[in-house]
A and B are shown apart, each in its own frame.
Chain A
Amino acid sequence: MSIDKFVTLESTAIPMPIENVDTDQIIPARFLKATTREGFGENLFRDWRYDKGGSKIPGFVLNDSKYSGKILVGGKNFGSGSSREHAAWAIYDHGFKVVVSSFFADIFKANALNNGLLPVQVSDAFLSKLFSEIEKNPQTKIKVDLENQTITILSTGESEKFDINKYKKTCLLNGYDDIDYLLSMKDKIEVFEKTR
């Protein structure tokens, strides 16, 4: 079992300049009843995207035809709240490969990385820049380069480095997952248990 490899991505982006986007908004609890990982994209941001009757709510970015792309740019403190991995599954299932914010909640970040969805943490200034460039021109291309740990606004050439720990970077570049790594350590784990 493995995750999809991530090396570089060039794409337009969808801006969502809202702070503290919690995982209950990303995927409301009533849609967590499946027993498989697939199909959660359909209900991504359900209550912001659709009204009670199931009609699209105009004005919400995912319903706005001028925006498209595989990069979601969110406000500060993205992914707070519940530990539901379904949030990362829903974003990935919808077609996003990267989420950009100036701050991520811990559990969301870990869940994203475990599913090949790259969280890119940028400065507040760069985030504002991203929002204004994308809103000015929705065709703005953003390049995310994992090897060099950079995110670049291609039209202006503005770029910023982002952090990721070396282990997780290797996993994403190669499509490795943690479970394979841990299973390969079973002997060591058994030795550890005997010392306790």
Chain B
Amino acid sequence: MSKKTLFDKVWDSHVVSQVEEGPSVLYIDRHLVHEVTSPQAFAGLDKRGIKVFRPGQTFATPDHNVPTKDQHLTIHDELSRSQVEKLTQNCQNHGVTLFGLNHPYQGVVHVVGPELGITLPGSTMVCGDSHTSTHGAFGAVAFGVGTSEVEMVLATQCIMQPKPKKMKIEVNGTLGKGVTAKDIALYIISKITTAGGTGYFIEYTGSAITNLTMEGRMTLCNLSIESGARGGMIAPDETTFSYVKGREYAPKGADWDKALAYWKTLKTDDGAEFDKVYNFDAADITPMITYGTNPGMGIKITESIPSGADLADTNKNTFMKALQYMGLEGGTKMVGRKVDYVFLGSCTNGRIEDFRAFASFVKGKRKAADTVVWLVPGSKQVEKQCKDEGIDKILEEAGFELRQPGCSACLAMNDDKVPEGKYAVATSNRNFEGRQGPGSRTFLASPLTAAAAAVTGVITDPRELL
């Protein structure tokens, strides 16, 4: 029998049929839906006069548009409200489970899926959101799709996909103090660029990866798309199994035993081949920060911004355009720059571990007076956990306040917008022009680096305050 990678095993077992010289018809086990990329898909079904084929395999929650304050009140933005209402109606009409606003399970889809045990090893999973790659942390083949594909899954539980090529990224060694999964991801993307993973599905391996918690693995897999890769996955192990066990939608009893036996087979065979392999050393990774307008434009926090002098003309224009937008000059330092806003949250870093890290860092310190800080839990459950663990109190004592769950300032579809020209240190995933509001300028970094900026008001190497 030919040797297979983890990705091959999961993908191949979900192929319903193969179109000659074309895509695979791929069966999708679990489908997550939110308010922004689904209304046109449900409308397509309604137009055809058909119902959702397997409503039990789709789960919905509003996240992109929702306010992060006063969620018990009506959403004041008319268009946002209409999208959230449309999601509720569509779920009712089609019998889809909805964790609506104020439901104890509402939150960012990619935080909700794992914490409810909807995300399982060895499964296929899609969502009309590019950060669906998050769920690869469990050894699932999970990736983002467009609205037409959302409609395909609703209608048939399948999509048409050409099989991507396979990439292995191995990171060995021990991470230094103050270095997190976010830094690993930003480091990798700075090395392979935002297009380096395009056409591939990544498997992350190596001791620095297997030593990560599930939250850390989710952060890393979440950012796979920022290298252009459709998804990234990590072989499930004891860390994975103990995270999944007992969660609401996870298998129980005999089903659990059977599932576990299968999940244990989900690893890349010795000698299986990848189309591309990268090796990195954990010792080379330090806290990272981006300076430009794509996630590949990242450096070690202590380094200077590149000058761009060595770039070819076409790249140079793009590079200079980015620095101009950011109001930065090549050759200057990042450390010490004023930070107007700090955002902790999103599907990248909105999990309980991120709040624990932020809280333990700021404990006994004070919020910087001139910096606006938005702390947005990834879900109602994360919010509750913060309260149960007393994290909210630690934050309050340091001058911070916990908001309510949603995508928030990651893409600024709600009121959490960074004003034009202002600088934000954000734990989210994209620093594109205008991503956090028209004219906003984003520095991507880890929750620890965000915490350091939140107490000093300037870009600060978190290791100095640990």
Query: Shortest CB–CB separation between residue B258 and chain A, in angstroms?
Result: 12
Q: Does B304 contact A (CB under 8 A)?
A: no
| Interface band, chain A | 35 or more
Chain A residues positioned under 8 Å from B86 (CB to CB): 35
**Residues 22-56 of chain A, each 1 if its beta carbon lies under 8 Å from chain B, else 0:** 10110011101111110000000001000010000
Please determine whether B37 and A85 come into contact, CB atoms closer than 8 angstroms: yes
**A29 and B440 alpha carbons, distance in the complex (Å):** 13
Q: Does A88 contact B (CB under 8 A)?
A: yes
Please determine whether A52 and B146 come into contact, CB atoms closer than 8 angstroms: no
**A196 and B157 alpha carbons, distance in the complex (Å):** 14
Please determine whether B314 and A110 come into contact, CB atoms closer than 8 angstroms: no
Query: Shortest CB–CB separation between residue B198 and chain A, in angstroms?
Result: 6
Please determine whether A84 and B37 come into contact, CB atoms closer than 8 angstroms: yes
Set B158, B411, B412: member contacting A185, Cβ < 8 A: B158
Set B157, B160, B318, B413: member contacting A178, Cβ < 8 A: B160
**A114 and B435 alpha carbons, distance in the complex (Å):** 26
Set A28, A83, A168: member contacting B438, Cβ < 8 A: A28
A1-B44, A34-B79 known; A167 vs B318 contact (CB < 8 Å): no
Set A19, A36, A81, A82: member contacting B314, Cβ < 8 A: A19
User: Among the interface residues B21, B148, B294, B412, which one has the most CB atoms of the partner chain A within 10 A?
Assistant: B148
Q: Does B144 contact A (CB under 8 A)?
A: yes
A-B contact count (CB 8 A): 195
Please determine whether B21 and A32 come into contact, CB atoms closer than 8 angstroms: no
**Residues 64-83 of chain A, each 1 if its beta carbon lies under 8 Å from chain B, else 0:** 00000000000111001111
Please determine whether A106 and B198 come into contact, CB atoms closer than 8 angstroms: yes
A32-B413, A35-B43, A35-B83 known; A165 vs B433 contact (CB < 8 Å): no
Q: Does B36 contact A (CB under 8 A)?
A: yes
Q: Does A136 contact B (CB under 8 A)?
A: no
**Residues 68-104 of chain B, each 1 if its beta carbon lies under 8 Å from chain A, else 0:** 0000000001011011001000000000000000000
Q: Does B31 contact A (CB under 8 A)?
A: no
Closest to B48 in A: A1
Chain B residues positioned under 8 Å from A186 (CB to CB): 53, 156
Closest to B150 in A: A85
Chain B residues positioned under 8 Å from A52 (CB to CB): 420, 438-439
Please determine whether B318 and A18 come into contact, CB atoms closer than 8 angstroms: yes
Please determine whether B317 and A22 come into contact, CB atoms closer than 8 angstroms: no
Chain A residues positioned under 8 Å from B82 (CB to CB): 33, 35
Q: Does A154 contact B (CB under 8 A)?
A: no
Please determine whether B438 and A80 come into contact, CB atoms closer than 8 angstroms: no
Query: Shortest CB–CB separation between residue A101 and chain B, in angstroms?
Result: 11
**Residues 159-196 of chain A, each 1 if its beta carbon lies under 8 Å from chain B, else 0:** 00000011110000000011101110110110011001
Set A24, A32, A104, A182: member contacting B160, Cβ < 8 A: A182
Query: Shortest CB–CB separation between residue A4 and chain B, in angstroms?
Result: 14
Please determine whether A33 and B80 come into contact, CB atoms closer than 8 angstroms: yes
**A88 and B195 alpha carbons, distance in the complex (Å):** 19
Please determine whether B17 and A182 come into contact, CB atoms closer than 8 angstroms: no
Chain A residues positioned under 8 Å from B50 (CB to CB): 183
Q: Does B345 contact A (CB under 8 A)?
A: no
Chain B residues positioned under 8 Å from A179 (CB to CB): 44, 48, 148, 151-152, 155-156
Chain B residues positioned under 8 Å from A111 (CB to CB): 146-148
Closest to A115 in B: B148
Set A19, A24, A75, A83: member contacting B129, Cβ < 8 A: A83
Please determine whether A81 and B432 come into contact, CB atoms closer than 8 angstroms: yes
Please determine whether B21 and A182 come into contact, CB atoms closer than 8 angstroms: no
A1-B48, A28-B438, A76-B195 known; A114 vs B294 contact (CB < 8 Å): no
Query: Shortest CB–CB separation between residue B30 and chain A, in angstroms?
Result: 13
Chain A residues positioned under 8 Å from B17 (CB to CB): 185, 188
Query: Shortest CB–CB separation between residue A57 and chain B, in angstroms?
Result: 13
Query: Shortest CB–CB separation between residue B366 and chain A, in angstroms?
Result: 33
Q: Does A107 contact B (CB under 8 A)?
A: yes
Within 8 A of A (CB), among B129-180: 129-130, 144-149, 151-152, 155-162, 164
Chain A residues positioned under 8 Å from B161 (CB to CB): 110
Chain B residues positioned under 8 Å from A106 (CB to CB): 164, 198-199, 228, 230
Q: Does A61 contact B (CB under 8 A)?
A: no
A76-B195, A103-B195 known; A30 vs B412 contact (CB < 8 Å): yes
Closest to B41 in A: A85
Chain B residues positioned under 8 Å from A80 (CB to CB): 194-195, 198, 228, 294
Chain B residues positioned under 8 Å from A20 (CB to CB): 194-195, 294, 318
Q: Does A105 contact B (CB under 8 A)?
A: yes
Q: Does A17 contact B (CB under 8 A)?
A: yes
Closest to A185 in B: B25
In the complex, the 7 A-B pairs of residues with the closest C-beta atoms, listed nearest first: A167-B22, A85-B146, A33-B79, A35-B39, A111-B146, A83-B144, A114-B148
Residues of A within 8 A of B (CB): 1, 17-20, 22, 24-25, 28-30, 32-37, 47, 52, 75-77, 80-86, 88, 103-107, 110-111, 114-115, 128, 165-168, 177-179, 181-183, 185-186, 188-189, 192-193, 196
Residue pairs across A and B with Cβ atoms less than 8 A apart, 11 shown, are A20-B318, A24-B434, A25-B433, A33-B79, A80-B198, A81-B130, A115-B148, A167-B19, A188-B16, A189-B27, A192-B27
Apart from A106-B228, A111-B147, A189-B156, what 18 extra A-B contacts exist at CB < 8 Å? A17-B314, A24-B430, A25-B434, A29-B64, A30-B438, A33-B79, A35-B82, A52-B420, A83-B37, A111-B148, A114-B149, A166-B20, A179-B44, A179-B48, A179-B152, A183-B156, A185-B16, A185-B156
Residues of B within 8 A of A (CB): 16-17, 19-23, 25, 27, 36-37, 39-40, 43-44, 47-48, 50, 53, 64-65, 77, 79-80, 82-83, 86, 128-130, 144-149, 151-152, 155-162, 164, 194-195, 198-199, 228, 230, 294, 314-315, 317-318, 321, 411-413, 420, 430, 432-435, 438-439
